[in-house]
Amino acid sequence: MSTSIQTYGAHPGATVTRESPIASSVAGGGAFRFDLLREDAETSARRGRIKTTRGVIETPVFMPVGTQAAVKTLDPIEVEQTGAQIVLANTYHLMLRPGVDIIAEAGGVHRFMGWSGPILTDSGGFQVFSLAANSKVTEDGVTFASHIDGSRWMMTPESVVALQLGFDSDIAMQLDHVLGLPAERLAIEEATERSARWLDRAVIAFRNQAGPETRSVLFGIQQGGMDADLRVRSARRVTDADVAGCAIGGLSVGETKPVMAEMLEITTPHLPREKPRYLMGVGSPEDLWHGVARGVDMFDCVLPTRAARNGALYTPDGRIAIGNARFKHLHAPIDDSCDCAACTRFSAAYIHHLFRSGELLGMRLASIHNLRFLARQMEEIRMALDTGTFASALAAFDARYRPVSARVQSGNTETLQTGAGDGRQ
């Protein structure tokens, strides 16, 4: 008989069941465990569970991004109340400000930011190449100028591991060579191979630097651009590495959604069945559903909160721009099926007023709503996987939800007025 339990980070009333896994992996001397509980019969979707020393994570899962140890405008308690089970912070940003010494003095990033659940820290590779000036890659690592004050820094696979162990992250990411696309195949191949060599160095560094009491584990990152052969080669290298999980990097960087779907279909069959799969920097509702259908377990993105701060809110029918005049007289919830504070306490007309008036409360309520919307999507996905109805649930989602791209094609550009877009931190 299955036993119903309440887990950390679950929205009030949410339950999960204990059951025997069909595949499992353990890392960090038992500090981290992934159980694959169910595989969908019609798609590549998977139902799983991650156990860390700081809490259980039901997968598939979306991770809100707290780049600088804060999910913008929100208290950690508010983030938890949306149903978030794990949050993400960024090594590049925390290295520059406040610095690893300050975070270590505080007792680690969890105590520093007041979040008691699991935390994943991105390595900062993406930020080095997207934010920092004058970055220069060598086999040793990457040197760059801080986007804050122009000071010179260097990150290596070893130093990035040391930083994340200093933060006491639950999940640490390897440093990878992120290449701006489009690029020549030779450049993509060189960056992919360098990322693989850096992963080998990160694994050795983690093994040497992590003490017996560490609560951290290391994930590797697959690269390869939009080249099928390179994607497969990189996936096999990550699979062979001594890592707790496998991330898929270099997607959601401007390619079309069919291309991203193709890359996932090429990638996931070559990743280990018994380890979690993490698609980096992806967070639109349609991409979550279709990423899960292609075998992804974990997602993160700044999109839901960035879009929220620009007045773009998710609904079951698609994204809306709350500053649009049509909401001025709508004295009803944004989404009457939503149980977040924005929808249960306030009207669309009031939140419209807050944005038109430049009130910070509007950004906060919109952020709570968007995070709760995505958490509810993941809850629906997990329930559908539990009941064997994922394919029909995906079809129902697609039939109703209209992505921004579809609205642009039809000439409805309301949601584009926000200036919000997809991407990583």
- Active-site residue list: 122, 300
Whether 222 and 233 have beta carbons less than 8 Å apart is answered as: no
Asked if residue 98 has a cis previous peptide bond (ω within 30° of 0), the answer is yes
Contact between 106 and 112 under an 8 Å Cβ cutoff? The reply is yes
* Spatial separation of the C-alpha atoms in residues 107 and 110, rounded to whole Å: 8
Dihedrals φ, ψ of 57, to 5°? Answer: -120, 115
One-letter-per-residue 3-state SS of the chain: CCCEECCCCCCCCCCEECCCCCEEEEEHHHCEEEEEEEECCCCCCEEEEEEECCEEEEECEEEEECCCCCCCCCCHHHHHHCCCCCEEEEHHHHHHCCCHHHHHHCCCHHHHHCCCCCEEEECCHHHHHHCCEEEEECCCCEEEECCCCCCEEEECHHHHHHHHHHHCCCEEECCCCCCCCCCCHHHHHHHHHHHHHHHHHHHHHHHHHCCCCCCCEEEEEECCCCCHHHHHHHHHHHHHCCCCEEEECCCCCCCCHHHHHHHHHHHHHHCCCCCCEEECCCCCHHHHHHHHHCCCCEEEECHHHHHHHCCEEEECCEEEECCCHHHCCCCCCCCCCCCCHHHHHCCHHHHHHHHHHCCHHHHHHHHHHHHHHHHHHHHHHHHHHHHCCHHHHHHHHHHHCECHHHHHHHCCCHHHHHCCCCCCC
Computed on alpha carbons and rounded to an integer, the radius of gyration of the chain in Å comes to 21
Q: Strand pairing partners for 36? A: 23, 48
Cα–Cα distance for residue pair 283/381, rounded to 1 Å? 14
Facing residues of 318 across strands? Answer: 315, 402
171, containing H or E segment: strand 171-173
